[in-house]
Structure 1
Amino acid sequence: MIYTDWIYWLFVLVAVVTYHLMPHRIRPWVLFAAGVTFYYYYAGSYLFLLLAEVVMAIIIVKAAAKWSRRWIYPAAIIGVILVLGYFKYTNMMLDTLNDLFAFMQQPFFPKAEQIVLPLGISYFTFELIHYLVERKRGNLPEHRPEGLLSFIFFFPTMVAGPIKQFQVFYPQLKAKFHIDHILIGITRIGFGLFKKLVLVGTIDLLAQPVYSKAGIAAADTGTLWIALIAYTFVIYFDFSGYSDIAIGTARLFGIVVPENFRFPYLARSVAEFWNRWHISLGSWLTRYVYFPLGGSRVATPRIYLNLMATMTVSGLWHGAAWNFVVWGMFHGVMLCIHRFHVKQIKPKLKPVPKWLKPGTTMMAILITFFGVTMSRVFFILPIADGWNLMLRLLGLR
């Protein structure tokens, strides 16, 4: 893990001190240089792929301003998506094709073993798409090229998020220094490290049975429930721990990046859950997938289709395997059920008496937590094993 590497924290110290000693006009270059150093150290030559994409974006912006061609931005966005698709999903597609041609003696399509997923490619791809879309819409402040370079190469969020917004990030480079940022940053980093090093490692011991087919077969139903619930908290403390460290490190530079988690397991519905879980990703998917598809402004069947499509993209973003697609679709179905309840059933029900509201609130939290926990079987296991685990948990096998 990068954040337990002592050289990383020495690097952070040097970068933070250098950043605050420099005049404001130089600070974007400091962040860019720090990001290049960080990425090359941990990802090697893939740095040049990232540099090429960012330089392409700068050229596209200048070309669009000069030629006013409508196709320039869409072509750039498609190009960025294709790069992500090649590195992240080529082997998934080849494996799928080989499964379809399983009757042959040898793989019909050789697996592209040489393709290695570049560190943080999902995060910087989504931020680059955000930049290109908002630039096309005219929503970004005027800036020089180093503004984009510092945004994409801001190393605290390069590999673990949160997913930033340029129009929020860039003005902060000119903000005055406040000691509160340092104090808040150190505290937040401490919370994140505690989650990663203490809570995750401890709770993970209980989750071991659901990590393998053999573990599932050897455990009884009660043990499997304990293990799955433990894993549900492991993944929360793991993801939110990373986010805390990233948010805290950004604060050391005097930069506030978006919150990513807000007590998601206290959500009273799956819609509220996605307003509390991986918030920056949910916001990105809403703006750049759900709304362009029509959002909630279309006919009801299309709304359900839009929800399913958005959550399928969410699943694919999390991992290049079909079980992640199923996980995303699972959440899509839950969101569709929630919307049907809110729009069709709830208006016909009698208001809940005040004395019953605490109980109904608790029931809603438990139902939401149950649904989210059940979805984890497809997040952690291949589809067949996840289905088997679900049946075991429900006492059907």
Structure 2
Amino acid sequence: MVFSSEVFLFGFLPLALALYIAVPGAWLKNLALVALSLAFYAWGEGRFVALVLGSALVNYGFALVLWRLPGEATRARRLVLAVAVAVDLGVLVWFKYAGFLADNLTFITGARIGRDVALSQVYLPLGISFFTFHAISYVVDVYRRTSPARTNPLEVVLYFVFFPQLIAGPIIRYKDVAAQLARRTVTLGDFAFGARRFVVGLGKKVLIANTLGVSVDRVFSTDPANVSTALAWFALAAYTLQIYFDFSGYSDMAIGMARMFGFRFLENFDFPYVAGSIREFWQRWHISLSRWFRDYLYVPLGGSRVAPWHVYLNLVIVFFLCGLWHGAKWTFVLWGMLHGLFLVLERTGALSRVTATPVLRHVYVMAVVMLGWVFFRADSFGYALAYLRALVHQGPATTLGLRGVVDHETLLVFAIGCVLATPLVARHVEAALRDESTRWARVAFGAAAIPAGLALIFVASTAKLAAGTYNPFIYFRF
């Protein structure tokens, strides 16, 4: 069940909200949310409900031990933390990387690894990358004493399984929601904000990402040798927009729903395509993932407090693992390493001439980001290289061209996406709303235009969902 589905929009979500509002008391509300979240997960991944619950309860136990051990028991606390993290990562490695590791060991040694246990057939549980990172965040934050361990297991289970962030994030650090797990309040303003944010995310996902995705999928399922250069560039630019509106739309919906249930999640995107450096890009793109790697890997490795060569090594390690986190394929690893390489180059000052002006900086960032998306989207390294070749030379006369793939609706949505991927519209609206000289217009705009616009987005989105079957989430299997 995905957020942009009719069964979720008109069945699960209204039922969940009604039940949450109806039940009295914080404990019953938490119990209702846990039950709803497990039902949500079971809808698409019933066989792994026990895995998610088990992960939550095992880490609940580890955290209690860490919290009750005295601060001076350094060795014991470190041992418990190491075991907890090893268990969490072990589960992730088994389900997500066992086949990948077996295939690579087979390639290196020539001996078939894992023949009897069919490692390549291990099924990937939905959201395992996300709830594993939640597990590590929980035990590490308790170990660091930044937040207390929960004595109520229901609150820990809620942190793990809360359905808005369960299968595709955002990645919520425990310390950011620790105080909200036991008791929350939902005002009318919170509910209205959440509903607005949800509808905006739905529109970004259904009206923009899905529309562009049809053309993108057609091009990336074609042999690059048969794709014209113009179409290759258009499809890459369209994918650049698709992945942004797909994932940021999902994040908007998650943040909006969380607010309707009383949780305040931090922002996950901040117009990443206006960044002036790769470092700034990662301060704006998938912010929750960047913060997780910073807090739980980069800083423990020494962060920026060590010698320059050590900082560079830390960046390479972080982005190697960042790429691997996205998927058990070398294309994801190469994508991560590409970003890590340019972060190192930026720190050394080697790109100072390339980034001498704002225009050059923006061109440089978009070139690196779009180059990276080729590897991220490609099914194999060979396909990625072939696609890069298609970007720099025109194929034969029989190639698939723009006219054969891109229609007027796609071009219109592409143009709208280019504008909305920048803060231009948002800044103008905010400036107009703050202008005291147009107070009457602001009141009228807020009372009529915004609700009407949101209603139009919702109706158009649901109509598009009812009319078609193309509705994937790019981050759904990470």
TM-score with structure 1 setting the length: 0.89
Q: Which residue in 2 is equivalent to 1:376? A: 373
Distance 2:281 2:329 in 1: 23
Deviations 1:287-331 (A, max 9, x none): 111111111111111111111110111101111111101110011
Relative to 1, partners in 2 of residues 1:205 and 1:31: Cα closer, same or farther, differing over 3 Å? closer
Deviations 1:140-185 (A, max 9, x none): 1463222211111111100111111223223235233211122111
Relative to 1, partners in 2 of residues 1:108 and 1:256: Cα closer, same or farther, differing over 3 Å? closer
Amino acid at match of 1:255: F
Q: Which residue in 2 is equivalent to 1:16? A: 17
Ranges in structure 1 where 5+ consecutive residues have no aligned partner: 353-359
Relative to 1, partners in 2 of residues 1:243 and 1:66: Cα closer, same or farther, differing over 3 Å? closer
Instruction: Give the CA deviation at 1:396.
Output: 11
CA contact (8 A) 1:189 1:249 kept: yes
Q: Which residue in 2 is equivalent to 1:140? A: 147
Distance 2:363 2:332 in 1: 24
Which moved further from structure 2: 147-156 or 29-38? 29-38
Q: Which one of the candidate residues 344, 348, 358 is aligned to 1:340?
A: 348
Distance 1:331 1:206 in 2: 26
Determine whether 1:42 maps to 2:51.
Answer: no
> Aligned with 1:118: secondary structure?
coil
Determine whether 1:388 maps to 2:386.
Answer: yes
Instruction: Give the CA deviation at 1:66.
Output: 4.8
Q: Which residue in 2 is equivalent to 1:265? A: 273
Q: Which one of the candidate residues 146, 160, 170 is aligned to 1:152?
A: 160
CA contact (8 A) 1:101 1:108 kept: no
Determine whether 1:291 maps to 2:299.
Answer: yes
Distance 1:80 1:388 in 2: 38
Q: Which residue in 1 is equivalent to 2:310? A: 302
Instruction: Give the CA deviation at 1:114.
Output: 4.1
Relative to 1, partners in 2 of residues 1:100 and 1:210: Cα closer, same or farther, differing over 3 Å? farther
Instruction: Give the CA deviation at 1:242.
Output: 1.2
Relative to 1, partners in 2 of residues 1:210 and 1:289: Cα closer, same or farther, differing over 3 Å? farther
Deviations 1:347-386 (A, max 9, x none): xx9xx8xxxxxxx223312210111001111111111221
Distance 1:40 1:158 in 2: 12
> Aligned with 2:223: secondary structure?
helix
Identity %: 35
Q: Which residue in 2 is equivalent to 1:116? A: 123
- Tell me the C-alpha RMSD between the 2 structures: 2.3
- Matched ranges for 1:215-230 at <5 A: 215-230=223-238
Determine whether 1:363 maps to 2:366.
Answer: no
Relative to 1, partners in 2 of residues 1:345 and 1:109: Cα closer, same or farther, differing over 3 Å? closer
Determine whether 1:92 maps to 2:100.
Answer: yes
Which moved further from structure 2: 219-228 or 324-333? 219-228
Instruction: Give the CA deviation at 1:194.
Output: 1.3
Q: Which one of the candidate residues 173, 181, 191 is aligned to 2:190?
A: 181
Distance 1:271 1:364 in 2: 12
Instruction: Give the CA deviation at 1:101.
Output: 5.1
CA contact (8 A) 2:99 2:121 kept: no
CA contact (8 A) 1:19 1:30 kept: yes
> Aligned with 2:26: secondary structure?
coil
Relative to 1, partners in 2 of residues 1:58 and 1:396: Cα closer, same or farther, differing over 3 Å? same
> Aligned with 2:284: secondary structure?
coil
Distance 1:44 1:147 in 2: 22
Amino acid at match of 1:83: V
Distance 2:109 2:175 in 1: 48
Amino acid at match of 2:261: F
Q: Which residue in 1 is equivalent to 2:58? A: 56
TM-score with structure 2 setting the length: 0.75
CA contact (8 A) 1:147 1:170 kept: no
CA contact (8 A) 1:268 1:364 kept: yes
Which moved further from structure 2: 70-79 or 125-134? 70-79
Provide the aligned length of Structure 1 versus Structure 2.
381
Relative to 1, partners in 2 of residues 1:202 and 1:6: Cα closer, same or farther, differing over 3 Å? closer
Amino acid at match of 1:61: A
Q: Which one of the candidate residues 205, 212, 219 is aligned to 1:196?
A: 205
Instruction: Give the CA deviation at 1:43.
Output: 0.9
Distance 1:142 1:100 in 2: 44
> Aligned with 1:163: secondary structure?
coil
Instruction: Give the CA deviation at 1:195.
Output: 1.8
Relative to 1, partners in 2 of residues 1:345 and 1:61: Cα closer, same or farther, differing over 3 Å? closer
Deviations 1:61-114 (A, max 9, x none): 233345552211111111100100000001111222333356x8xx55434254
Higher RCO (Cα < 8 Å, 6 or more apart):
2
Relative to 1, partners in 2 of residues 1:228 and 1:49: Cα closer, same or farther, differing over 3 Å? same
Which moved further from structure 2: 133-142 or 168-177? 168-177
CA contact (8 A) 1:163 1:280 kept: yes
Relative to 1, partners in 2 of residues 1:389 and 1:220: Cα closer, same or farther, differing over 3 Å? same
> Aligned with 1:259: secondary structure?
coil
Relative to 1, partners in 2 of residues 1:112 and 1:20: Cα closer, same or farther, differing over 3 Å? same
Relative to 1, partners in 2 of residues 1:208 and 1:62: Cα closer, same or farther, differing over 3 Å? closer
